[in-house]
């Protein structure tokens, strides 16, 4: 049975993950409006992955006898100066999400909730991967500067991102 403090924090995390999905979908819409179709595809796949994150926490709350209480999802940003600013915003967002996961794990450890701490380990590894992936794209864009040919090639590369598969339930 989940302690109320953990249940509330996990419900907040479900909201944060759905907000991430909404933010990445907003980023996809920005890319598609600017004909960066590959970047847009990458952002759509990321939005899907964030929904899987939300549902992993959702399923865990139910599996442990808790109550999921969905919260309002705030409007995401809708405009960025250019593709470099877009991926910088994505990287900043992933760092913010990593901080949230770290705080959640600290809470689970304080509450001696080992099952929740164990579930959160998956997210700890996932955030390392997410930050590294976005940082690599951001780094490439920084090197490219105003070289539109190079940016076009990167756009084509990101169009190949595979559809994510849902993570296993705990
Ligand atoms: Fe679910 Fe990208 O954090």
Neighbour tally for 110: CB within 10 Å? 10
Whether 170 has a pLDDT exceeding 80, the answer reads no
Whether 7 has a pLDDT exceeding 90, the answer reads yes
The per-residue pLDDT for 169 is 77
Q: How confident is the model at residue 107 (pLDDT cuts 50, 70, 90)?
A: very high
Q: Please write the tens of the pLDDT for every residue from 78-95.
A: 999 999 999 999 999 999
Residues contacting ligand 1 via CB (< 6 Å): 17, 20, 50, 53, 94, 97, 130
The per-residue pLDDT for 24 is 98
Q: Please write the tens of the pLDDT for every residue from 128-154.
A: 999 999 999 999 999 999 999 999 999
Give the long-range contacts of residues 72-80, CB within 8 A, separation 24 or more: 72/15, 73/15, 73/18, 73/19, 73/22, 74/19, 75/22, 76/19, 76/22, 76/23, 76/25, 76/26, 77/23, 77/26, 78/26, 78/29, 78/30, 79/30, 80/27, 80/30
Ligand 1 atom at minimal distance to the Cα of residue 94: 2
The per-residue pLDDT for 116 is 98
The per-residue pLDDT for 97 is 98
Torsion, Cα 6 11 12 17, to 10 degrees, reads 120
Nearest protein Cα to ligand 1, atom 2: 94
What separation in Å is there between the alpha carbon of 146 and the centre of ligand 1?
Answer: 29
Nearest to 18 by CA among 71, 62, 92: 71
Dist. CA 134–CA 142, nearest whole Å: 12
Task: Tokens for 163, please give them.
Answer: 């559809």
Dist. CA 25–CA 44, nearest whole Å: 6
């Amino acid at each position: 049975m989940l302690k109320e403090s953990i249940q509330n924090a996990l419900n907040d995390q479900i909201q944060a993950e759905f907000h991430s999905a909404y933010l990445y979908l907003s980023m996809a819409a920005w890319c598609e409006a600017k004909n960066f179709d590959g970047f847009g595809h990458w952002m759509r796949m990321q939005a899907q992955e964030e929904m899987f994150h939300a549902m992993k926490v959702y399923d865990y709350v139910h599996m442990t006898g808790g109550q999921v209480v969905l919260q309002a999802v705030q409007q995401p940003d809708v405009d960025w100066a250019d593709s470099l600013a877009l991926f910088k915003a994505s990287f900043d967002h992933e760092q913010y999400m990593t901080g949230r996961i770290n705080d959640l794990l600290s809470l689970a450890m304080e509450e001696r909730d080992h099952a929740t701490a164990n579930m959160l380990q998956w997210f700890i590894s996932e955030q390392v991967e997410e930050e590294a992936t976005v940082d690599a794209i951001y780094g490439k864009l920084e090197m490219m500067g105003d070289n539109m040919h190079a940016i076009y090639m990167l756009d084509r590369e990101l169009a190949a991102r595979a559809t994510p598969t849902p993570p296993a339930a705990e």
